Amino acid sequence: MHAKFTPEELSFQAEVREFMQAEFTPELAARIRHPDTLREATIEWQKKLDARGWAANGWPVEHGGCGWSATQRSIYSNEMALAGAPDVVPMGIKMVGPVLYTFGTEEQKARFLPPTKSSDIWWCQGYSEPGAGSDLAALQTRAVRDGNDYIINGTKIWTTYAQYADWMFCLVRTSTEDKPQAGISFLLIEMNSPGITVSPIISIDDEHHLNEVSFSDVRVPVANRIGEENEGWTYAKALLTYERTALSGVGYCKRTLQRIREFAAKEYCGDRRLIDDPDFQARLADVEMQVTSLEYLELRVLNDVDKGGAPGMESSLLKLMGSDCQQAVQTLFWNLASAYGGVLPGEDHKDISGHEFGDRARREYMFGRATTIYGGSNEVQRNIIAKFGLGL
């Protein structure tokens, strides 16, 4: 791994930057930010990426991937973040996609991979339940075999964007006769199936990201099961390693730090700009060093994947460091907003008074408290690192 870009990589960087400037317009950005148009606009953006061949850039080439190096993928991620453009919704391309092309049948690959890549399917994740979050093996949603179908009963919670989803990849209990991990199966469930109820959960940032999803005698074809019955824990663990790698948030951190610098250059502390204040400079430098360390860890993991490896314990390191970095960046952003960080937006979603970024900083800080919980809590990640990394 090298720290300077080659001429070819610089050319690629310019290509990505030009695409972002041309295709991620202010009008599209505004529609993605608004809850009434988020789904439609997000799909439109992802289709632009797919048309360029970049949507599923981490997939194997035979399934529509780009064959990019780790450095190219890092350049792409950084340029996207610096443009303020969102990455693809991760549940499809970054999470269930790798499970499908690794463990799915040829029929399942042909049915689900192309529409997942093209964003014609919006996926959600059915893992956590009331009483079974970090202890995922304690899940109780039951799937009882009935001929060529499973009948599903139970509840999933904290289901991100279930209100938009066409399909859910879901862990269900198909046996209670062995240890908890041995009785779980991995099913693909169409969200318009009779018996599914989606109830909104409004989070602390006043946004509707999350949902509770209930199943009452929902029929799911056995053909929608990934792999073998009762072996879903294996596929779930594989998915979680990809999810945790995707949760590092390097691009988000770098983009937010850029915004903090821009705002601090306009904000005054006494008779000088905040960006010139030694205490603020020290805090900013500390967070930037954390993010730089995270970025190089991510590059190491991506390089290992390029050589044929799979993200294992390192994905837990990325998730652990990434969530800490995101919270550090969000804390600095909200501190920058100071007294205006609690300002509520008006009807046009702009601050009523105070800084233009005050409400955004408040919302990001509040929702960011969840980063150390979702995708496997940081306590769980430390246990994984201790066991598989340190042999404790």
- Tell me which residues are annotated as active site: 243
Name the phi and psi angles at 273, rounded to 5: -65, 150
Distance CA 380, CA 178 (A): 23
Tokens 């599903």 locate to 152
SS3 203: coil
Element holding 186 (H helix, E strand): strand 184-190
Distance CA 29, CA 361 (A): 18
Distance CA 30, CA 252 (A): 18
Residue pair 150/108 in contact (Cβ under 8 Å)? The answer is no
Cα-only R_g, the chain: 22
Distance CA 338, CA 343 (A): 10
Nearest CA-CA partner of 41 in 30, 51, 49, 31: 31
Nearest CA-CA partner of 126 in 155, 156, 91: 156
Tokens 């805090």 locate to 283
By DSSP bridging, strand 149-156 and strand 210-221 are: antiparallel
Cβ neighbours of residue 216 under 8 Å, at least 6 residues apart? 153, 195, 197
The gap from C-alpha 33 to its chain's centroid, in whole angstroms, comes to 16
Distance CA 141, CA 217 (A): 11
Tokens 């105070």 locate to 354
Residue pair 159/129 in contact (Cβ under 8 Å)? The answer is no
Distances (CA, A) of 101 to 39, 186, 277, 281, 379: 25, 14, 52, 47, 30
Orientation of helix 313-337 relative to helix 250-264, angle to 10°? 20
